[in-house]
Amino acid sequence: MQSTFSKLEYAAKKRITHRDRFLADLEALTPWSRLLEQLEPLYPKGTRGRPPVGLERMLRLYLAQQCFGLSDEGADDAIYDSQAIRRFVGIDLAREAAPDATTLLRFRRLLETHGLTRVLFDTINAELAEEGLLLREGTIVDATLIAAPPSVKNRDKKRDPAMHQTKKGNQWHFGMKAHIGVDAESGLVHTVVGTAANVHDVTQAHALLHGEEKTVHGDAGYVGVEKRPENVQRTVGWNVAMRPGRRKQLPDTVLGRALDKLEQVKARIRAKVEHPFHWVKNLFKHRKVRYRGMEKNIAQLHTLFGLANLFIAKRRFLALDGRVAP
């Protein structure tokens, strides 16, 4: 096949950018065939009207959009601005038109309407579990705040009714919470729950367990979790952090120092739960909700944490294929 000017220009690049390397990793890590198999039955076949854009192309564009924190319009612009994204999606602007923002919006609504982002999340986890990367003996539970626009300068002159305000420390926050259950061995997310920001962490602990764990780890926000009605019958070991005020009051005795050392051990285990939050909030730039309503934002969280799992498992996943991660 004859090379186009865009391909020749990309091949002549002297420097591989961070975006090039990131998309190369996404290409290698994503179980494309399994994802496409799950989505294909619900994707339009184009029997009437304008033929739809190819499913794989739309999925690639959607995942790139989530990884780089782009709006629908921003993803549309990125196709024209970034050779790396064009190459990843498989678009040659010299020969064909790129999917526009409206097409991407329709694809995203298709995913949301049929719960397909949860299917993407579960499919990625199934792939990792089959490779032995997702174990099931221990779970770490935690939650993080995701901000929502507090302004009332909109059509309804109201804040998003699905969001709520809460106080953390001495500061008030408005938005939602992303609650996650993380495998204690691998640090991979196996459960995602979204609620308004004022919902206490301890009330969602039971929803973050898959039922096969022997131990559960949580910070001081989960104190008393074993006494709640939904958890009384569970035969798991609850390793919950001591409240900071109580820890400061530990005496300088052999027992006090031993208890403090135990809290340090608990904290080292719980540290793995911060890695998915780091990927979603810092690397994928998802610090503020993009949509109104809870369902759309929870759907996006499933995609983001599924992608985070791929990159957290990157070294071990590539090692199984005989490759070395950079």
pLDDT at residue 8 is higher than 70: no
Question: What's the fold here for domain 135-320?
Answer: Nucleotidyltransferase; domain 5 (3.30.420)
pLDDT at residue 326 is higher than 60: no
Can you tell me whether residue 292 is helix, strand or coil? Answer: coil
Which helix (H) or strand (E) segment is 167 a member of?
strand 164-168
Higher pLDDT, 133 or 195: 195
pTM score = 0.90
pLDDT at residue 48 is higher than 90: no
Structure-block tokens of residue 277: 């939050």
**CA–centroid distance for 61 within its chain:** 17
Domain boundaries, the chain: 5-114, 135-320
Mean of the per-residue pLDDT values for the chain? 89
**pLDDT at 322 (0 to 100):** 55
121-172 residue pLDDT tens: 999 999 999 888 888 889 999 999 999 998 888 888 889 999 999 998 889 9
Distance CA(289)–CA(297), nearest Å, equals 7
56-74 residue pLDDT tens: 999 999 999 999 999 999 9
The candidate with the shortest Cα–Cα distance to 316, out of 129, 63, 190, 191, is 129
72 touches 106 (CB < 8 A): no
**pLDDT at 47 (0 to 100):** 67
pLDDT band at 265 (very low <50, low <70, confident <90, very high): very high
Distance CA(180)–CA(183), nearest Å, equals 10
Residue type, position 89, single letter: V
Structure-block tokens of residue 273: 């739960």
